[in-house]
Amino acid sequence: MDLGAKQWIYTVHGDKYSIVLTKFMVLKSEYLWKYSCGGGAQMSEVRRTVDRMMNCEDILMNFVVADEVKAGPILVGAERVRDWGDARNDGDGGMGLKDEEGSRVREVGLSSRRTEHRKRRGDCIREFHKVLGRMPLRYNYGKVVNSAGEQGLCLKGGKLVFCDQYQR
């Protein structure tokens, strides 16, 4: 919350978190159903926001789960998890990460434009809050990991390394 502007914003904190990326989530199928099909007119409207912005599906899923459990997410670590969809991998790993001309895709998605990406995610949070009429996200301060940094692995020079440690 930006108290000066009196609005919800998207920020990153090293000591607390209220959102987990969907590619790292393990959750009940009931939450997937509510996200995709349930929730009535309000959920339909926020799903349209996700479609229109082509972003924030993870934030909406965190809204759905937090609204059900009335608590923040629990971050659990795993060793050597490969993120095959991360464009920072050498080669495409058989995933077809090439553009129409056959060139490798390096910077993909809205997250490659950090400043604009965070602003748009803040816009999503404000829209979800407005439409749903509540803020279900809750901070969690405990972790079952060494850190909250990215833990996806990328293939570099024939070796698996943490993607966030890769220098271009």
DSSP 125: H
Cα(94)–Cα(82) distance, integer angstroms: 13
58 noted as active-site residue: yes
DSSP assignment of 75-109: EE--SSEE-TT-TTSSS-TTS--B-TTSPBP-S-S
Measured CA distances, 132 to 42, 100, 161 (Å) = 6, 40, 40
Give the C-alpha distances (Å, rounded to integers) separating 69 from 35, 61, 74, 110: 14, 12, 12, 29
From 2, 15, 58, 92, the catalytic residue: 58
Looking at the chain, list the stretches that DSSP marks H as alpha helix, in order from N- to C-terminal side.
29-36, 40-53, 57-69, 114-132
Active site residues: 58
